[in-house]
Every structure is written in C-alpha cells, then in structure tokens.
Amino acid sequence: MTVQAEILAEIKKYDTIIIHRHQRPDPDALGSQVGLAELLRNSFPEKNIYQVGGPVEGLEYLAEMQDISEDTYRGALVIVTDTANAPRISDSRFDLGARLIKIDHHPNDEPYGDLQWVNTNASSCSEMIADFWQLFDELIMNEEAARLLYGGIVGDTGRFLYPSTSAHTLEIAAKLLRYDFDAAELNRQIQQVSQKVAHLSGYVYQNVTVDAHGAGYVILSKEIMDKFEVNDAETASIVSLPGVIEEVLAWAIFVQQPEGYYRVRLRSKGPVINELAKQHHGGGHPLASGANAKDLDEVNEIYQEIQRLCQEFRAV
C-alpha cells in the first residue's frame, strides 16, 4: 500500500479531522491546509473537518481559521501540511489527537507524526494535495478547493518562475484551472502590496549590498520597520526583490524583531543555502530557507557564509 493510500484509509477511519499548518503562513501553507480541508469536506460531507492555526496575517483573501476546543481533539485525526518540523506547527494542540499525519515538501530532517508523506520534488505542498486528489476517484474537487490549491502553487513557485516548477506542476495547475474560480483575481491578490510595502521595496533596492561574487544582503532594523510602518509579516513580499538584480546570486534579508533578534530570509539562484540555515536555528529548501540571528555579530557571520558559498559556486 502506498503512503497516499494509507493516508486515505486513515481519513476514512475518523469522524473528526483537524488540519494544521505552519506559523506565519504563506499561500502554500493555507492553500494546502484549507485546500485539503475543502477537498475532504466535499468528498466526505458526513465528517467534521476543521482548519486551525490562528491569524493568517494578511492572507484572509485565501482562507481563515476556525476556533475549536481541546475536547474536539479527543479521538480525532490530525493532519499537518507544509511544516518541516514540529516546533513550527501553528497551534501547539496538534499532538492531542489520536493519530498524526505529516504531509510536506521540505527536506524531512526532523520527522514527526505516525505517518509521513514527504515529497521534496514537489513545487509545493499544494501540488501534493492536488496529486492526492488525482490518485483517488472518491476524492471530489470543487471550485474552492481548486482556488486554494492553485493559489498555493502560484505562491510557492513565484508564479511559476522558480526552479521547482516542473512540467507536472503546470499540468496540475491546468487541471485546477478547469474549475470555476477567478485565477486572474487570485494572482493579483497574491502579487499586490500596500503602498507602504511598495515604499519599503524602494528602500531594499537602494540599500542592498552586493559583493563581487554576487552575495547580497539588506538589514531591516526596528527603526526602518517603524519608519515604513510595516511589520514582519508584511516583509514577505520583498524577499525576492534582490534576485531581480542581475549581479545577485544569493542573498539574505535580515528583519529585526521587536524582541531584538533578526529573522533571516535566505534565497539563492544556485548556491545551496539550507545547510547554512540549519546552522542558525532554521532550515528549508536548497534555494529558499529561513533562519534566525541573535544579534548583528551573527548577522555578519551569516553574510560571510553566503559570501563563501557564492565564491565557491562561481569557482566551479
């Protein structure tokens, strides 16, 4: 029996299914989480299916969460999507259920759960959920599930620009587009930013530092964040901006948090950066990862490592 068949068998066993995703959600987190919830609601209307995890931080156009009591977890199946390690799961009650399933496309460095389906070749967890639908005739797609899964794929592929986009990704997206939702509007919602974030984008372009080997970085201090009146969640849309610059090969955006430490967003056009992220309380994909730096000394250490990775990559 394949792992997908095992997951479907588990879904059939339980009357209550609770679906989680990671903290600070992005379109793929919500797309896979609530896309799966809608797919299961449409396929098994007799079951009680919930999506939980707290605020969605500006992604309300995709979906919102439900409030449930701890009692709801008693005897329930819990599924977590798009989350590499347990500490990142939004809502710590995920382990209160009877059984736990992990569905993810990040490297499985920190396994958790009773059953795991991890596919690092998938462009997104939303693509995996769409694959799950395609495998079984009893799973019935509808417009809302298709909208969410398409949105998740668009978000994690950078509108099909990132290397993770495969022919299979485009085939799945085409199948989802056959359902009656406004894909053009959804793409606009994912892409558009507020005026203050647009102003911050200008700051990023003007202040990005790039060395001779293509290693780039920008520091967004608390003072800069206050000046532009943005919060950490709103900086997600500016992470890809240095990559537009021809000379940039790999880069980091250091966002200072109210507590003083820095959230680190790492991106690359070639050098593998997830091992670097792991060394600084983070992880992720080979070309897109996240980490943390306790102070400017660690910020400088991370940038020096990016410089080394770029230099080695250029030398090959």
Closest CA to 210 of 241, 172, 236, 173: 241
Mean pLDDT of the chain: 96
pLDDT(233) > 90: no
pLDDT(109) > 90: no
Residue 316 has what pLDDT? 82
Identify the band that residue 301 occupies on the pLDDT scale cut at 50, 70 and 90.
very high
Residue 45 has what pLDDT? 98
Q: What is the pLDDT of residues 190-205, one digit of tens each?
A: 999 999 999 999 999 9
Q: What is the pLDDT of residues 255-291, one digit of tens each?
A: 999 999 999 999 999 999 999 999 999 988 899 999 9
Q: What is the pLDDT of residues 50-101, one digit of tens each?
A: 999 999 988 999 999 999 999 999 999 999 999 999 999 999 999 999 999 9
Please report, as a single letter, which amino acid is at residue 181: F
Rounded to 5°, the CA angle 4-5-11 comes to 90
Query: What average pLDDT does the segment 229-248 reach?
Result: 94
Contact 19, 102 (CB under 8 A): no
